[in-house]
Structure 1
Amino acid sequence: MKIKKYEVYDMKEAMALIKKELGPDAVILSTRKIVKNGSFGLFSRPMIEVTAAIDYTAKREVKKPKENYNPAPEKNTDDSADISKITDIINSLGLNKFEMLLNDMNEIKKQISEMKTAISENIALDLPKSLQEVYNIMIKNEVDDVLSYKFLKKIENRIPENSTHLQIKSIAAQLFGDLIPTEKSYFSSLKKKVLALVGPTGVGKTTTVAKIAANLALKLQKSVALISIDTFRIGAVEQLKSYAEIIDVPLRVASSPTELNEIILEFEDYEYILLDTMGRSQYDTAQIDDLKSFLTINPLINVALVLSMSSNHSELGDTFNRYSKLSPDYLIFTKLDETRYFGSLASLPILKKVPILLMTNGQNVPEDMEIPDGKKIAKFIFNEIPNLWRS
């Protein structure tokens, strides 16, 4: 038996070489992707290592034994029979075609991506050129493309003739700001309610709870109580405990939905109750379901989904969709100081019809927090040169 390996760019090339060198009776034993040293990583063309074999002994003519000569059958001293069986299985199952199938799938994905890009670029072709320029600004700042188009199409007739580019942007920003749903006064909206902050790990839930508590207790002189159900991260509870001691508010930890409900009843005389929850991956549906059992235990609980602006628009939209089973009443956007693109501050609230409750732009407690303003958000979105929020 002769076994040989080939390094090729596609199966067509491999089959030609195998047929030429080993003959038409050769079989493919295996295929796998390889990365050649000295290549240019992701931008290099992938190669395939194909292992093929030909069993020349199978073709030899078997001589007839002499009469009255019955030797014992020889033991098979090589693995040719096993290899033949393996290759038969590989070929019968079509496993040697997997590489071609993967290449086809990658090509389809590439074409779909190109189609999406083309649709995004051509969706606004029926807008006047002046509004196409505004559309491009909105897209650059990560406003949803369909939302951008529908908005500009709706206000097309409200733009006076001969308006300058700056005037058109100003009008568009003013009208777009009116569309962004915001909660004007969190301190009046949340009175005698329990505000639960939920969201993925690392978005800043615990720090945001501390900021809200400090503003209510220290600046507005309100009675505030804190609850944590983040029993998975001891550090998070200790951090919140430190904040609670500094601003002199009570903190309790609930380890079950029943215990949470009992603590809420104990705190019924407080004007505000803030609930810090464990960070959950948006992809772990079981953990989000577990969290839901806490949040539905008492009708006073309102849910605020905390989202970090360090993520892009698609990631934020995906996170919202996965947390939607918790029926968020509000959105809180954190880490505004870590991006220059604020389109998601408008797209998500408008498309999901959920108002922004608060925004944070730093780690300082309680300073780096502000009440949302649709006009201010739109102003940053319509900047042709994206600026930092604090600027």
Structure 2
Amino acid sequence: MQVKRFFAADMRQAMKLVRDELGADASIIGTRRVAGGVELTAALDYQVPAAPVRQPNPELEVELRKTQSRIASAQAELATRVHSDAGKDRQLFANESIIAPELPASVVRHERPAPVAAAPAMPAVTDQHALDAMRFELHGLRELIEVQLGSMAWGQLQNRRPQQANLWRRLQRMGLSAELSRTLLERVANVAEPRQAWRMLLAHLAHAIRTPQEEPLEEGGVIALVGPAGMGKTTTLAKLAARYVLKYGAQNIALVSMDSYRIGAQEQLKTLGRILNVSVTQEDPGQSLTQALAPLARKRLVLIDTAGLPGNDPALQMQLESLAGRGVKARNYLVLAATSQSQVLKAAYHSYKRCGLSGCILTKLDEATSLGEVLGLAIGQHLPVAYLADGPRIPDDLHVPRSHQLVSRAVSLQAPEEPSEDAMADLFAGLYQSPTRRAG
């Protein structure tokens, strides 16, 4: 038998080391948390020790049968006495010889329970360290089960439905999430021809991307750009303003800045206003947004530049409440950079959805290596894609999106290499976190 210890940052990496070193037949015989990660003990050709056989004890069994017989006879006699004389309950319970006539009085004794306040304090049943260790063990066990289920599901899919497995790989090269990929593949599960299945799958993907029927600038009103710092809100606002001025002139548009946190943000917007000959209003700290917008009521379009604040900043809550106010009637668009990671995009959505989002604007498409993450968020959260920004030029690098063009661009940016078997197994393992989820 070969036994080895493996150290890794998490359980999945440790399992990969076990598979690479000992193969798929290795058995996990121990896990524990260590500094910097987990320690996993695995063995090859490990035989589970048999449970020890309990040897019967005749004397103990005889005594046990006698005690059970005495208890049964005492209960029967007690029931008879209760039926015969219900008014003598106290005397019946006080008579120890009736309850257990053959047992010493010191063994069976009925005493009044002591008051709860006088009872000695019970020792702590659980220890926090023991609970933490138990949680870690359960978490590790769950990860082990998920990894095993994912590997099994991916292997079965490759053997039984190789065409579906190939489509899974292609969608992962595009960067789409497992849930969205599973939904798309369910719609083409009955298409036998591979090329037709791929074309239909892309058509379903394009249909899932929502775009506004009318360009937001054409509708007018109050438009606010929200989102974390670094997503390109101010640059996108400049592109929107320049696009409108070139088409309708500068007399019917105004700019409002709510960003009093970033150094130079107000000067940047004032410079843009001077170039476009557009009025710029700064919201004062003691002034409400409704008061700042009141002098601009006759403007056909008002663009609001907001501060990019982290989700745990109390000032963000105040800003979102101002935008969601009844007197403002703003259409808020979440600005998302296509270069951001999936977790960053999800955190941005959950932080800014409280103000009520009318859609999203995708920026930095020219720097992105994949569009699957940002498209997956827009589809999953039902956010219409209002505009695309793919460069620094104002306003040339701002476009009204077309869903089929977005899909074509996402396909052109797909990764050149196929995802590894371990990556696909991990992907399927994520689908097994809930018993209602199925893959393939």
TM-score by length of 1: 0.65
Residues 10-65 of structure 1 show CA distances to partners (whole Å, capped at 9, x for unaligned) of xxxxxxxxxxxxxxxxxxxxxx987xxxxxxx79979xxxxxxxxxxxxxxxxxxx
Indicate if the aligned counterparts of 1:231 and 1:278 stay in contact, CA closer than 8 A: yes
Structure 1 spans left out of the alignment, 5+ residues: 1-8, 10-31, 35-41, 47-92
Q: Aligned ranges for residues 296-315 of structure 1 at < 5 Å?
A: 296-297=324-325, 298-315=327-344
Which of 153, 163, 168 pairs up with 1:135? 168
Residues 1:350 and 2:350 are matched in the alignment: no
Q: Which residue of 1 aligns with 2:186?
A: 153
Residues 1:195 and 2:228 are matched in the alignment: no
Residues 1:287 and 2:315 are matched in the alignment: yes
| CA 1:135–1:239: 2 relative to 1, 3 Å | same
Given residue 320 of structure 2, which amino acid in structure 1 is its aligned partner? K
- Shift of the alpha carbon at 1:244? 1.4
| CA 1:109–1:218: 2 relative to 1, 3 Å | farther
Indicate if the aligned counterparts of 2:184 and 2:204 stay in contact, CA closer than 8 A: no
Indicate if the aligned counterparts of 1:380 and 1:386 stay in contact, CA closer than 8 A: no
- Shift of the alpha carbon at 1:368? 1.7
Alignment length, in residue pairs?
Answer: 300
Indicate if the aligned counterparts of 2:332 and 2:357 stay in contact, CA closer than 8 A: yes
Given residue 371 of structure 1, which amino acid in structure 2 is its aligned partner? V
| CA 1:305–1:108: 2 relative to 1, 3 Å | farther
Q: Which residue of 2 aligns with 1:276?
A: 305
Distance in 2 (alpha carbons) for counterparts of 1:252 and 1:125: 60
- Shift of the alpha carbon at 1:96? 8.4
Residue aligned with 2:357, SS: coil
Indicate if the aligned counterparts of 1:124 and 1:132 stay in contact, CA closer than 8 A: yes
- Shift of the alpha carbon at 1:188? 5.1
Distance in 2 (alpha carbons) for counterparts of 1:308 and 1:290: 24
Distance in 2 (alpha carbons) for counterparts of 1:110 and 1:316: 25
Given residue 350 of structure 1, which amino acid in structure 2 is its aligned partner? I
Residue aligned with 1:139, SS: helix
Residue aligned with 1:336, SS: coil
Q: Which residue of 1 aligns with 2:424?
A: none
Given residue 223 of structure 2, which amino acid in structure 1 is its aligned partner? L
- Shift of the alpha carbon at 1:144? 2.1
Residues 344-381 of structure 1 show CA distances to partners (whole Å, capped at 9, x for unaligned) of 34322222112111121222222222111110122233
Residues 281-337 of structure 1 show CA distances to partners (whole Å, capped at 9, x for unaligned) of 13x153331112220232421111111112122331232123221221111111112
Given residue 205 of structure 1, which amino acid in structure 2 is its aligned partner? K
Distance in 1 (alpha carbons) for counterparts of 2:266 and 2:149: 45
Given residue 286 of structure 1, which amino acid in structure 2 is its aligned partner? P
Which of 358, 382, 397 pairs up with 1:329? 358
- Shift of the alpha carbon at 1:204? 0.9
Given residue 312 of structure 1, which amino acid in structure 2 is its aligned partner? Q
Given residue 145 of structure 1, which amino acid in structure 2 is its aligned partner? A
Indicate if the aligned counterparts of 1:256 and 1:294 stay in contact, CA closer than 8 A: no
Indicate if the aligned counterparts of 1:330 and 1:357 stay in contact, CA closer than 8 A: yes
Indicate if the aligned counterparts of 1:257 and 1:294 stay in contact, CA closer than 8 A: no
Which of 178, 201, 205 pairs up with 2:233? 205
Residues 1:144 and 2:173 are matched in the alignment: no
TM-score by length of 2: 0.59
Residue aligned with 2:189, SS: helix
Residues 1:265 and 2:298 are matched in the alignment: no
| CA 1:231–1:127: 2 relative to 1, 3 Å | farther
| CA 1:243–1:108: 2 relative to 1, 3 Å | farther
| CA 1:309–1:112: 2 relative to 1, 3 Å | farther
Distance in 2 (alpha carbons) for counterparts of 1:286 and 1:315: 19
| CA 1:153–1:264: 2 relative to 1, 3 Å | same
Distance in 1 (alpha carbons) for counterparts of 2:222 and 2:285: 16
Q: Which residue of 1 aligns with 2:200?
A: 171
Distance in 2 (alpha carbons) for counterparts of 1:44 and 1:155: 41
Task: Flag the structure with larger Rg.
Answer: 2
Distance in 1 (alpha carbons) for counterparts of 2:387 and 2:142: 38
Given residue 348 of structure 2, which amino acid in structure 1 is its aligned partner? T
Given residue 143 of structure 1, which amino acid in structure 2 is its aligned partner? L
- Shift of the alpha carbon at 1:273? 0.5
Q: Which residue of 2 aligns with 1:181?
A: 210
Structure 2 spans left out of the alignment, 5+ residues: 1-6, 8-32, 41-125, 417-440
Range 108-117 or range 216-225, more displaced: 108-117
| CA 1:208–1:189: 2 relative to 1, 3 Å | same
- Shift of the alpha carbon at 1:164? 4.5
- Shift of the alpha carbon at 1:126? 10
Indicate if the aligned counterparts of 2:233 and 2:335 stay in contact, CA closer than 8 A: yes
Which of 245, 267, 286 pairs up with 1:238? 267
